[in-house]
Amino acid sequence: MKDFLTIAMPKGRIFEDAAQLLRQAGFQLPPEFDDSRKLIIEVPEEKFRFILAKPMDVPTYVEHGVADLGIAGKDVMLEEERDVYELLDLKISACYLAVAGLPESKTNDVAPKVATKYPHVAAAYFREQGEQVEIIKLNGSIELAPLIGLADRIVDIVSTGRTLKENGLVEYEQMVKITSRLIVNPVSFRLKDERINELVERLSKIK
Ligand SMILES: Nc1ncnc2c1ncn2[C@@H]1O[C@H](COP(=O)(O)OP(=O)(O)OP(=O)(O)O)[C@@H](O)[C@H]1O
Ligand SMILES: O=P(O)(O)OC[C@H]1O[C@H](OP(=O)(O)OP(=O)(O)O)[C@H](O)[C@@H]1O
C-alpha cells in the first residue's frame, strides 16, 4: 500500500474529463471507475487509490496529506488558498469567473451586494478594483440572487452562458479563466517524486 499514489478526484462535472485524461495517458481504469457509488476506488494494477470528493474539498485532502495528489478547478484553488503545489494545467473543464447582473443595474448603494459561491475571490477582486461591496455567500443557484433582489451583482462561473441568458442576466466583466489543475502535497512530492514526475510527464504528453 505504501507505494500507492492516492489521488483526490472531484465528483461531478470534472470527473469525466479527468478520467478520460488518465485513460489517454495510458492508465487502465476499470469500468467500476465510471459508474460507482464507492468513495474509495483502488486500482492495484496501476498502484492508484482514488478518493472521490466534493470539488471544493479536493485541496483540503491534499493539504492534509491524506491524498498525495488531486484534481481541482483553478476557481477552487483561488478560493481555498491551500498549502499545496500546482503541478500541471490539465486544460480540462474550461470556464471562467465573471461579474454579472441585470442589464440595467439600478443600485446607487455605497456598498452594492454581491452574491457568490466564491466569497474570497470576489472580495479580493473588488478590493483590487477599489470598490466597496457587501459579499453574500450562497451555495448554488447564484443567478437567482439579482432576480429576487437579494443582490445587485453576482460573481459566478460561466461556461456556455446559457444560465445567464435564460435568466435575463448579462456579464459585466470577465474576471479569470478557469481550467482544472493537478495539485500535490509538498511532502508527498518529496517522498514520491519518481512516481509523481512520471504521472506528470505522461499527462503533459497528451496535448
Ligand atoms: N459550467 C460550469 N459550472 C460550474 N463549474 C464548472 C463549469 N464548467 C466547469 N466547471 C468546473 O467544475 C467545477 C465544479 O464542478 P461541479 O459543478 O460538479 O461541482 P460543484 O459546483 O461543487 O457542484 P455541487 O455543489 O452542485 O456538487 C468548478 O470548480 C469548475 O472548475
Ligand atoms: O454558463 P453555463 O453553461 O450556463 O454554466 C454556468 C452555470 O453552471 C453552474 O451552476 P451549476 O449547474 O453547478 O448549479 P448550481 O447553481 O447548483 O451551482 C454555475 O454556477 C452557473 O450557474
Q: What is the pLDDT of residue 1?
A: 65
Amino acid of residue 80: E
User: What is the residue-wise DSSP string for 71-93?
Assistant: EEEHHHHHHH--S-EEEEE---S
Q: What is the pLDDT of residue 136?
A: 98
What's the chain's Rg over C-alpha atoms?
19
Q: Which ligand is nearest to the CA of 95?
A: 1
Distance of alpha carbon 32 from alpha carbon 41, whole angstroms:
8
Give the chain's domains with CATH numbers. Answer: 5-93+179-204 (3.40.190.10), 95-177 (3.40.190.10)
pLDDT digits (tens, 9 = 90+) for 1-47: 678 999 999 999 999 999 999 999 999 999 888 988 999 999 999 99
Ligand 1 proximity of 55 Cβ (cutoff 6 Å) = yes
To test the pocket of ligand 1, the residue of 80, 95, 180 to mutate (highest count of ligand atoms within 8 Å of its CB) is: 95
* Cβ neighbours of 196 (radius 10 Å): 20
- Inform me whether the pLDDT recorded for 188 exceeds 70: yes
Mean pLDDT of 51-60: 98
Please report the atom of ligand 2 found closest to the CA of residue 158: 1
Confidence check on the interface: ipTM exceeds 0.90, yes or no: yes
Higher pLDDT, 1 or 190: 190
What Cα–Cα distance (Å) separates residue 29 from each residue in 50, 66, 96, 146, 192? 11, 21, 30, 43, 21
Distance of alpha carbon 179 from alpha carbon 175, whole angstroms:
13
Nearest CA to ligand 2 atom 19: 157
Please report the atom of ligand 2 found closest to the CA of residue 143: 22
pLDDT digits (tens, 9 = 90+) for 117-174: 999 999 999 999 999 999 999 999 999 999 999 999 999 999 999 999 999 999 999 9
Q: Which ligand is nearest to the CA of 144?
A: 2
